[in-house]
Structure 1
Amino acid sequence: MHTVRDVMTAEVFSVTEDTGYREVAEALVTHGVSALPVTNGEGRVVGVVSEGDLLHKEEFTGGDYDPPLRARLRARLGAGGSAGDKAAARNATELMTRPAVTVASDASVVLAARLMERHGVKQMPVVDGDGNLIGIVSRRDLLSVFVREDDDIAEETRSVIREILPEPIATVEDGVVRLTGEVEHRSDVEKLIHRVRQIEGVVAVDSELRWHADDVVPQHVQWRAGTP
């Protein structure tokens, strides 16, 4: 199973708590990113400042920004600014969203994807055990695990199911695994499908497996059997 460390970007740009508003804006534009981790003096992630946070600044569409910078910011973020709680912010501490949604480098890509979905973020700082910034991971990074050759997926699939089927029959096309063959018990089929779905790069599993003995008792039958 791939971990966040396998797909993250180790070269990550960040700002400190006392980084000024203009410097934050320039960093976003210069590095072509939508958000930056904010770290304290010890390198720990304390928040994230994003384009959305900067949009609260009323002076965004005017003020003392020189024309080139203002034009680039407006092009990236869209014209117009809005007032809000962060309108008077002067540095990253006052701009940032806290606490930051972070992920450990040894977390699975599945967990990272769930965190992003749950919190509605497009990227997350990657931290070590002490909360220090060591990388950044984006949705695109997580999707990279699905860009895998069908032959590689088929080989791993056969390895996984070989303990149940002496000659596993598995074909893969565009990440969709097709299983055929015969097994002794129906429960083996369910176990196989579950395990194959966990293989990285698998989009779906189509099973044509057949079984000799149905050892899966329907839930309603179990309930009736346990009824006094």
Structure 2
Amino acid sequence: MGICSLSDVKIDTTPERSLVAPTHPGLISTEKKLVREYMTVDVVSLQAAETVKEVITCIRKTGHDGFPVLSNGKAVGLIAARDIVGAKASDKIAPLMQPVILKTMPDESMTDVARKMFRFCVQKLPVVNPDGQFVGIITNADVIRSQIERVTPEKVFDYLNTLKKLYGLDPHLSRGSVPVRELVPTQDKVYMDELDGRGYEIQKGLAEPLIVVRRRGRLLVIDGHHRAVAANRLKVPRLDAYIIDIDSDTELGIEKTARNMRLWRLDDVQILDESKHSILG
């Protein structure tokens, strides 16, 4: 019989193996990712009455090329380096800024923000509270970061089905934390730019759970290698994971793959930095 829903999976509820009750919403969360989880709150801003001189000072001091413009605590515009080209240092920035038309709020979903950015071709949105006061900024980079390496129920179900079809196994599924240093990788390469993003999410408590298989005391990473390697580099002791327990002496294909690639621990994974290689000859 195939695994089509969580009701088809044996859920291990012993305290040492599971941190959640055996309910569908608790095992695999479907909560939306919200703006408040990804927005930047410590934002350098300018006042509408200030001049181009202040914009240049902020660019030199921060290295950023754009800033929100506020008036009485509310976002009224965005000023970028391109907006002040040809302007005098004494010119007011209000006539030069791009007026703010679109805004978002902390409780809006990142999916809705992505739609706004794509539809109106904007890279940044001011975040405001219910009173319209500016509280932060959300960027297209934040949107991308919120979508990369998402763990969906389909990923878990697909792998459970694969185990059942290939090996005739009856897996137990639980959710809990796993020790990072004991994780065994099953892919031999990760990318430095992805590690930076995953490290950011781990430090802010936003990382998606791993998917791991536990067989004969070994923890094999099925999904989430960038998260695992990033946590290892940051010396994070444990990560949240969906744990698939297998009570079988049959060696899995992923175990053979890891052995053939001589992957015994996360330190064996090669980190590729594509920024060091030129695209053009």
Q: How does 1:35-184 map to 2 (within 5 A)?
A: 35-40=66-71, 42-55=72-85, 57=86, 90-148=91-149, 153=151, 156-157=153-154, 169-171=157-159
Aligned to 1:16: 47
Structure 1 pair 26–119 and aligned structure 2 pair: CA distance change class (3 A)? farther
Structure 1 pair 124–29 and aligned structure 2 pair: CA distance change class (3 A)? farther
Assess if the C-alpha contact under 8 Å between 2:52 and 2:87 holds in 1: no
Say whether 1:25 aligns with 2:56: yes
Aligned to 2:175: none
Unaligned stretches of 5+ residues in structure 1: 65-88, 159-167, 173-177, 182-199, 202-228
Q: Distance in 2 between matches of 1:100 and 1:13?
A: 20
Give the C-alpha shift of residue 52 in structure 1.
2.2
Structure 1 pair 133–50 and aligned structure 2 pair: CA distance change class (3 A)? same
Give the C-alpha shift of residue 171 in structure 1.
2.9
Greater CA radius of gyration, 1 or 2? 1
Unaligned stretches of 5+ residues in structure 2: 1-31, 166-206, 209-281
Which deviations, in whole Å up to 9, do the C-alpha atoms of 1:138-179 show, x marking residues without a partner? Answer: 111111123336xxx25x447xxxxxxxxx83239xxxxx9x
Which deviations, in whole Å up to 9, do the C-alpha atoms of 1:47-103 show, x marking residues without a partner? Answer: 111122112x255xxxx7xxxxxxxxxxxxxxxxxxxxxxxx811212111134321
Give the C-alpha shift of residue 38 in structure 1.
0.8
Aligned-pair RMSD on alpha carbons? 2.9
Q: Distance in 1 between matches of 2:65 and 2:116?
A: 18
Assess if the C-alpha contact under 8 Å between 1:11 and 1:135 holds in 2: yes
Structure 1 stretch displaced more, 16-25 or 26-35:
26-35
Q: Distance in 1 between matches of 2:80 and 2:47?
A: 14
Of all paired residues, the percent bearing the same amino acid is: 24
| TM-score (norm: length of structure 2) | 0.42
Q: Distance in 2 between matches of 1:8 and 1:133?
A: 12
Q: Distance in 2 between matches of 1:126 and 1:17?
A: 17
Structure 1 pair 132–58 and aligned structure 2 pair: CA distance change class (3 A)? closer
Give the C-alpha shift of residue 7 in structure 1.
0.6
Assess if the C-alpha contact under 8 Å between 2:48 and 2:70 holds in 1: yes
Q: Distance in 2 between matches of 1:15 and 1:119?
A: 24
Assess if the C-alpha contact under 8 Å between 2:38 and 2:142 holds in 1: yes
Q: Distance in 2 between matches of 1:169 and 1:122?
A: 35
| TM-score (norm: length of structure 1) | 0.51
Give the C-alpha shift of residue 21 in structure 1.
0.7
Aligned to 1:73: none
Q: Distance in 1 between matches of 2:60 and 2:102?
A: 22
Amino acid at match of 1:119: F
Structure 1 pair 148–13 and aligned structure 2 pair: CA distance change class (3 A)? same
Amino acid at match of 2:53: R
Q: Distance in 2 between matches of 1:31 and 1:3?
A: 27
Structure 1 counterpart SS, 2:149: coil
